[in-house]
Structure 1
């Protein structure tokens, strides 16, 4: 079949697919290769208009992983193709062209007319069959010539395309295409595209963090198990688990932090995972701390703890951290949960108010005793409560009369005291709160908040009618930290969206000891609101001490190396290539070390603290 007749046959076959439908229309096997027919059918299913050109997705990130890996390789191929009329295209996983290398300037106008330039999306869903989008969708090498392209604007081109598969995850991260005018095309373009794609994949492996390479090897080791497997380190999760939809970034951050903090007497333990409705055998591999790898092999549905099961209690040096099982139990309902410990506390205050007498609230500094007590009184009286200190009641005799008048007006009374409040004052407050006052608003109660330095231990007389309501520290509530963040944020900024944290930033929050409790959290959220606005909060937005919490497992040598690299980046104003020159190392080595030492782009300008 001559060229003209073949082009007519291609156009006709494609039109039949569009007009007659995928079921009725058939394409002769001799006309196009099987992968082209399959792509045509996918294009019709996606309702691709062959007359519509590509759209621009957005600016290309010049520092993206695929561009860093492919840069030198594209340079070499462009040089090797000097005497040809071929062009090179690199696309990311969305089919967006991120690099174009034109060997002969005469081809620039032809390619520009087809919008074959950086930023334009050549995915199969957007443009139909082509040499960049089809390899991604079909996961294989393809050769598309002339009117085999689904889009009419590409009919003058021939494109050999190959997918780029990440060597660690196996995921398709982009594609490479070698294009020429259809009359100058050659079957050799297919082998060249395949070879260039392999070279870029190898470059990605060289760039990869050695920790992720080890994670991939671990995953390959365990995935042959008859049970579903999930392996993870501090940054990455690899799994074949069907229930992965329930294991989001927050779940990973919580589970990672609890497993990292667990006192590992043995290298494996059996745990229940209500979030996934299963049990899992967890193995700790690699070094302790941030370099650990955890492999979870999911076994039977969750059941009662069997005798002899490995304990998942607290580390003796981390008594204030929640038990691992408590956090895992909370993960299953975290997404749909509408209550936190603070809303439970409000119910406890309501229950305490059913008995006539003094309501006592205890907790450490900054746990929110005053805020939560005021909130309850305000909600139950509709008025702002009157606040007094223990010193005022001891030193000013008229203060009691002022409290009496406030109660008569229907206001609640809030008395704040330190850890050393005397028994006499507590007894007098108890008697005052129990006095019958006709006409007083039923919500106008007396609440005494007492600051403690540790868990509540009752040391008052047995005649106290109502036991204290205790506010836990924020560290004790680590398992619901994100819910508390949302609740506190909603009170600070009514109507504003809840803050969103990157996985790395979330890990910093979970690892922080929160010495100032919820008061410190409120100050942090106010600071982040001013500095980061409503965007995604990165580690760079957090205070320097908080950013360092996840680095505690670095050795002295690793910490010194990290500080040196951060200082070089600061000296080079964030330019990684220049920083690598300052340090006397290659750019690829620089990227690898930055990932291994957890030096994120968002913190590269921050000098290490003293």
Structure 2
């Protein structure tokens, strides 16, 4: 479509009339409208960012390695985290930088589709696919003078999207080379992430892939900082920190733990007898087949405060029908802390 045809389509869509646009763009416009995104005003949400995050620390030098080739081409390179927040930006010249600042595209800007409507990073964050958005294909009118192409970077160890690479230029300068550049940058960042991965992380990945090939249930592999999770386990909404708390409390000799409402996991340390090198969990629904002795709390005499806490937890469990997620929410504690208390008081 020509730029004029695209603007006409955008205006027709905003007026409620039938509009013709690329399927990917039209789908995104509909989601943006459903989410209540304002098409006329920016009104972006901003957040604090970690400039030393692993993705920025590894990805920024890769993008800067191509920067010399883009100087004078009115181009901007950016990184965004897995939630669609811009975490880093480089501009080929000061004019481009000032113009992007005026349209609020910079570090800390949350440009996920549900907040900022149709844009490259927004679509990529939503679909985990490469996305090209040119001119009036952007949902927000202030971005109509820009073109951007974004693509996800999959972490070679966790196999999850680590973040997004974005290349932007003025809409009238958009061409097929944008796609070539972003694909090259994504490959470069993925390779850099692989090189930066530790030997421990690679052992975790090897163990994860080995169990995945034979396990009958979803497989999750974790340590203190990393979680490798299959799509089949994503529906359980497992939190890495809480899951690690449960595993660490159980200890290296445990064979099974409760990891959620109606969920149990068999434990397989990557290095037998150690937890620090990571643990493979094979998850299943249903009752426990019996926890290892180390997962049960030792018999202890309870003081007055502990007796009161036990009473509150027991009563709340009854009120919530045993739903531990609801119990944790009512008590204002994490699920990991709740499971720790349940084991201590022999309620699990």
Deviations 1:46-104 (A, max 9, x none): 11111121434233322111110112112112111124121112212222222221112
Q: Return the offset for 1:290.
A: 3.8
Deviations 1:452-479 (A, max 9, x none): xxxxxxxxxxxxxxxxxxxxxxxxxxxx
- Match for residue 386 of structure 1? none
CA contact (8 A) 1:91 1:132 kept: yes
- Shift in Å, 1:273: 4.4
Aligned-pair RMSD on alpha carbons? 3.6
Greater length-normalized contact order (CA 8 Å, ≥ 6 residues apart): 2
The 5 A counterparts of 1:63-142 are: 63-142=52-131
Give 1:297's aligned residue: 282
Residue 151 of structure 2 is aligned to residue 162 of structure 1: yes
Structure 1 gap ranges (5+): 263-268, 306-310, 313-322, 331-339, 346-367, 380-479, 484-497, 511-610
In structure 2, C-alpha distance between the alignment counterparts of 1:95 and 1:283, rounded to whole Å:
34
Structure 2 match to 1:188 = 177
* Residue matched to 2:323: none
- Looking at structure 2, the residues matched to 281 and 112 of structure 1 have their Cα atoms a distance apart, in angstroms, of 51
Which residue of structure 2 lines up, in the alignment, with residue 150 of structure 1?
139
**Contact persistence 1:82–1:103 (CA under 8 A):** yes
Take 1:278 and 1:83, find their aligned partners in 2: how far apart are those partners?
Answer: 56
The normalised TM-score by structure 2 is 0.76
The 1:212–1:145 alpha-carbon spacing in structure 2 relative to 1, beyond 3 Å, is same
Q: Would the aligned equivalents of 1:162 and 1:175 in 2 still touch at CA under 8 Å?
A: yes
User: 1:249-287: per-residue Cα shift (whole Å, max 9, x none)?
Assistant: 34532333434145xxxxxx6x57495546655434325
2:86–2:108 Cα contact (<8 Å) kept: yes
Deviation at 1:499, TM superposition (A): 10
Rounded to whole Å, the distance in 1 between the matches of 2:101 and 2:263 is 55
CA distance in 2, matches of 1:247, 1:104: 42
Relative to structure 1, the CA distance from residue 86 to residue 213 in structure 2 (aligned partners, 3 Å threshold; closer, same or farther) is same
CA 1:284–1:14: 2 relative to 1, 3 Å: same
The question of whether the paired residues in 2 share the 8 Å contact of 1:234 and 1:256 is answered with no
Residue 244 of structure 1 is matched in structure 2 by 236
Q: Structure 2 residue aligned with 1:52, among 41, 56, 63?
A: 41
SS of structure 2 residue aligned to 1:132: helix
Q: Of the two, which has the highest radius of gyration?
A: 1
Tell me by how many angstroms 1:130 deviates: 0.8
Q: Does 1:10 align with 2:9?
A: yes
Output the CA distance in 1 between the equivalents of 2:117 and 2:7.
Answer: 19
Q: Does the residue aligned with 2:296 lie in a helix, a strand or coil?
A: helix
1:324 to 291, 294, 302: 294
Write out per-residue CA displacement over residues 305-324 of structure 1, whole angstroms, 9 at most, x where no aligned residue. Answer: 6xxxxx94xxxxxxxxxx23
Residues in 1 aligned to 2:105 and 2:286: alpha-carbon distance in whole angstroms: 52
Cα separation, partners in 2 of 1:73 and 1:295, compared to 1, 3 Å: closer
Separation in structure 2 between the aligned mates of residue 60 and residue 9 of structure 1, nearest angstrom: 37
Would you say 1:288 and 2:278 are equivalent positions?
Answer: no
Once the 2 structures are TM-superposed, how far is the Cα of residue 163 of structure 1 from its aligned partner? 1.6
SS at match of 1:186: coil
* Cα distance in 2, alignment partners of residues 244 and 173 from structure 1: 20
Q: Deviations over 1:384-439 (max 9, x none)?
A: xxxxxxxxxxxxxxxxxxxxxxxxxxxxxxxxxxxxxxxxxxxxxxxxxxxxxxxx
Match of 2:106, SS state, is: coil
Contact 1:218 1:231 in 2 (8 A): no
- Name the CA shift for 1:121/1:341 in 2 (closer, same or farther; >3 Å): same
Q: Distance in 1 between matches of 2:183 and 2:175?
A: 14
How many angstroms apart in 2 are the aligned matches of 1:200 and 1:35?
26
Per-residue CA deviations over 1:517-545 (Å, capped at 9, x if unaligned) read xxxxxxxxxxxxxxxxxxxxxxxxxxxxx
Q: Which residue of 2 aligns with 1:525?
A: none
Query: Is contact 1:222–1:229 with CA below 8 Å preserved after alignment?
Result: no
Structure 2: gaps spanning 5 or more residues: 314-330, 341-348
For residues 29-44 of structure 1, the aligned pairs below 5 Å read 32-44=21-33
Contact preservation (8 Å) 1:215, 1:231: no
